[in-house]
Structure 1
Amino acid sequence: MIFITRRETFNAAHQLYNPHWSKEKNLEVFGLCSNIHGHNWELYVTVKGEINEETGFVMDLKDLSKIMKQEIVNKVDHTFLNTDVEFLKGKLPSTEVFAVEIWKILQPIIPNYCHGQLHCIKLVETANHFVEYFG
């Protein structure tokens, strides 16, 4: 078994704010992140599988890049995640929730392009904060 990873980047804003709470409660729980703010996000997608003897690949990284851009990056780049992104509608777009929703989109698609499977989503919000999700 071998693991390959592709990285893509995008910019997007979000607000960690629970509408059922007061402004004070949101500020207490989320701090300054209860205000609208943006990040330069990094998305890492790791696929695991066996090496195809004909190509030497687990998966063609050009295909993985295309899938990541088409299914995720193009839908979230330069948006306000709370309201502009269909797959996040009605959800509080924490990095954790965002990573899980990305997994739900990519997990059924990846096997159509290789004999491997999705292993991990790593979503970097800041240099000091990232999430890894393994399904």
Structure 2
Amino acid sequence: MSFEGVIIALSGLALSVVSFVFGKIFSQSENILDRKREAYKAFLRFCPAPNEAHSEDMILHTDFQREIGILTVYASMDVLKFAGEYFNKFADAQETLVNVEEAGHPIFIDLMTSYNRMVWAMRNDAMTWSIFAPAKKARTYQPSLNPEDFK
């Protein structure tokens, strides 16, 4: 075998190893993103919606606590930060909004904005490596309604 043949064979072998490693990294990344999507989907099934702040019932139960635990394993720091903010606002809003029938109450709008920000952060995190991910300039949540719009 000539010197050029050895170089070509070694180059082919090196390219195969690099391709294998990148394929493994991509496969693991897709696996983690799929698990994140499932964790977010399950969490949102149990998460109290902003409309539930009008109810006197406490929403936290054992299954929801389990989903929060799973969320902490897979969620990004932004998701966890916005989820914590939402639950703090939910508890405060529930004290005020119980049996309130007024549409567009400023506390409700603030709570809904906080919920949407949490879901937006989940979407950004779950779409990280996807072609469907929002453009870089659109990754910051922009509320479509402000409490001032209802005054």
Fold shared by both chains (TM-score > 0.5): no
More strand by share: 1
TM-score, structure 1 normalization: 0.32
Greater gyration radius: 2
Task: Compute the TM-score of the two structures, normalised by the length of structure 2.
Answer: 0.29
Comparing both structures, which one devotes a greater share of its residues to helix?
A: 2
Does 1 or 2 have the higher relative contact order (CA < 8 Å, sep 6+)? 1
